[in-house]
A and B are shown apart, each in its own frame.
Chain A
Amino acid sequence: MSDYLLKAVDINKSFAGVKALQGVSLEIKPGEIHCLAGENGCGKSTLIKVISGVYQPDSGYIEFDGKRYSQITPLGAIAMGIQVIYQDFSIFPNLTVMENLAFNTELAAGHKLVNRKRMRKIAEEALSKINFDMELDRLVGSLTVAEKQMVAICRALMFNAKLIIMDEPTTALTKKEVSALFEIILKLKAQGIAILFVSHKLNEVFEISERFTIFRSGKLIVTGDTRELDDKKFSFYMTGREFENEKFKPSFESQGNVLEVKNLSLTGAFEDISFGLRRGEILGITGLLDSGRTELALALFGIRQATGGQILKDGSAVTIKSPRDAIACGIGFVPEDRLSEGLFLPRSIGDNIIISEIDRLTKGPSVLDRKACQAEIDKWVRELAIATPDPNNASSTLSGGNQQRIVLAKWLACKPDILILNGPTVGVDIGSKHDIHKILQRLADQGMAVIIISDDLPEVLENCSDLIVMKGGRIVATLDPGETDENTVLSHMM
């Protein structure tokens, strides 16, 4: 018996000539919580797929439980005790909790007929593994994200799992739910199950894992003990660059509020929100996932309609009932979810940049001025340093950071007075994150008013001139980022 449960040794894998993995290795001890980190496209997911048998490596081998395999099939991986919990959880929203929990086992056993008694027993057994209680006849579609994740975890446990791989499991969870998840993970560890935790969130790596491995561009950069890791080193390993973070100090002088919000309410989401914003300021709004921060942003941009209160632009009241109204008021909005709200992935970079200001790029009633369009596209690609050989390429060809720049360009092209960003650097690699912060600070210095809505505390503390903390739909604190720290903010949030 070796010391390691899993040893992936010298794995190489290429796709159409592109090397996704170059001689990487990964070792996991039994009952260990191991964190695999790296920026998007570093090869994390490819390695997971190799371990779970979805891809066959070009060379290298995998040793599991002391046995050496040069090839693994998906079914073989399950039989060995490897379970993957994907980001989308691989669940059926249209079916009941019971069926979701029992299908894999039933199929693996080769049962052809549905036996509800047996399935119920399997489901109950699955839930009992982590002492979780849930109504078995509920439709999974009606569960919260965290509950769905529990279903996925319970299901994974049915196969005498020795290793559970979790692919970015905390992305859509609230802080409370994350701590609940971590408790479960510790429980599993106590049962001797090893966890491979894939994440690029630093605080999670610190909190939960014992050892870590970091990939960059398909290569293994470092592997070691989490205790020896710190903030700076982590960023450096991830990106290969060193960053000096500058605190934002507003320099643009202005009088009066460009935006003022008075007692704004949206039934069931937030209540009695008031704040003012001057040009050149960056206002941070933070709070937990369920604090109403996102709904506030959506209401300011007209996606949801506020049910009470007032919005004043340059001192006069405005009604914002649709995004069009908001744009007319000079408000731009970078949404939370780039893939489903921010970006037309299959469409060209250029089209994405000009879509919001397209009605201005016309001659005659609505005939496109193609020269003006091209000029606008070229200008913003240059200005925001979007790394592309050709703006006619699809946006999906770019990395997360560059994609976020496109969304930013789209709004800057509308020349807004106020730019609202909801989670501006979610899913963006550290390098681009740094650049985006620089851009926001520069915009503020040029006289734009910026609102950053984020639960990334270092982000808001570093970049904002004012900070509002929300909880349960209300403002609970207004802080000066220069004179507060993460723990104070957290204590207001919780």
Chain B
Amino acid sequence: MNAVKRIYQRDRHIFRLIVMIVAWMIFMAITRFDKFYTVVNFQTMAGQFPEFGLMSLGAMLCMITGGIDLSSVGIANVTSILLALFMNAQAAKSESGDISVAMIALVFVMAVCIGLVCGSINGLLISKVKIPPILATLGINQLLTGVCMVVTGGNAVSGLPAAYSASINNKILKVVPGKRGTMQGLIPVQLLFFVVAALLVWFLLMRTSYGKKLYMMGTSENVARFSGVKVDRMLIKTYALSGMLAAMGGMIMLANYNSARSDYGNVYTLQCILIVVLGGVDPKGGRGKISGVLLAIVLLRLLETGINRFPQISSYYITLIWGAVLLLVMVLNYFEDHPIVKRK
């Protein structure tokens, strides 16, 4: 009980998110226990959320600077399309018609590079040309989506080498009993990518001078400049980092859909912002924890999957519930800042 109280006092926002998750888990346990609490169900969730989870991590970093990144989806799609074409070309060249593991590793290195370049362009436009982040990233998103359209003509790139999906859209740690005595994997590979990225971001924010400077800069860019923080370089780094995370998200999307297209995941743009704000990151910058963002991701995923377990309820209700949760959290925060005082 004391532990609960401590969490409440330390951060009410995090506390509320935890309460909502627990309440929803209990509700699902009561109503749909056997359909919800299955290994497969949790595996599916864990394999899917890294797509937008990775983008949300990047969006969080940008929002801590007081900016916003609306280009994640464009970066993700341009990465996945270009690399899907690349892998297809490589597979066609090879005798087996497939690609090697080393090639997959190379592809991921290339993905990171594409993300780095796109993100750095965002950063340059914001820090050097001084375009407001919302417009710079919006324009770059449109530009990249356009590039995708030009490259693909609006069609999906499919027929990927089997090895790619087989290695990324897979599960490791073979401990789950499957059919006919075989053992199946427990942990989805996509989740590993996300966990590594989340740990990395956590480490950057909490344990490095970059993180400290990022929060300070988000609080006041001007004071940071007067304190000797290289603000321009910090901005470029941050948007580049966000670009790299988005590119990784694109690679996960490529594995999950086994194809790439210019309009995949376009709901994620606003969804990532929603997650980040729901996670308690201040849109004005300077405030926000990765724990809040992780909880928000988990909460949204649990809500969506949970509702899908009720066949009579349209899955479209999920967006309604997301929006309602966001507004509810905001209003609760409002009343925390403006306590209702009884007037005489």
Contact = CB atoms under 8 A, between A and B. Distances in A.
Direct A–B contact present (CB less than 8 angstroms): yes
A18 interface: no
Contact of B225 (A303, A343, A359): A303
A48 interface: no
Contacts of B208: 362, 366-368
A323 B225 contact: yes
Interface in A310-345: 322-324, 326-327, 333, 335, 340-345
B201 to A, nearest CB: 15
A361 B226 CA distance: 19
B227 A356 contact: yes
Contacts of A368: 207-209, 212
Contact of A355 (B207, B212, B222, B286): B212
Interface string A367-387: 110100000000000000000
Given A367-B207, A368-B212, A347 B219 contact: yes
B226 A335 contact: yes
A437 interface: no
A351 B229 CA distance: 13
Interface in B122-145: none
> B209, B219, B224 — which one has the most chain A CB atoms within 10 A of its CB?
B209
Interface in B201-243: 207-210, 212-213, 215-216, 219-220, 222-230
A358 interface: yes
B219 A346 contact: yes
Contacts of A410: 227
Contacts of A345: 219-220
Range, interface on chain A: 20 to 34
Contacts of A356: 227-228
A355 B229 contact: yes
Contacts of B213: 355, 358
> B208, B224, B228 — which one has the most chain A CB atoms within 10 A of its CB?
B228
Given A341-B223, A347-B216, A361 B209 contact: yes
Contacts of B287: 346
A351 B207 contact: no
A324 B209 contact: no
Contacts of B229: 355
A345 B287 CA distance: 13
Interface in A242-279: none
B220 to A, nearest CB: 6
A148 to B, nearest CB: 21
A354 B209 CA distance: 10
Interface of A: 301, 303, 322-324, 326-327, 333, 335, 340-347, 351, 354-356, 358-359, 361-362, 366-368, 370, 410
15 contacts: A301-B226, A303-B225, A322-B230, A323-B225, A340-B223, A342-B226, A347-B216, A347-B286, A351-B216, A354-B212, A355-B212, A356-B227, A356-B228, A362-B208, A366-B210
Interface of B: 207-210, 212-213, 215-216, 219-220, 222-230, 286-287
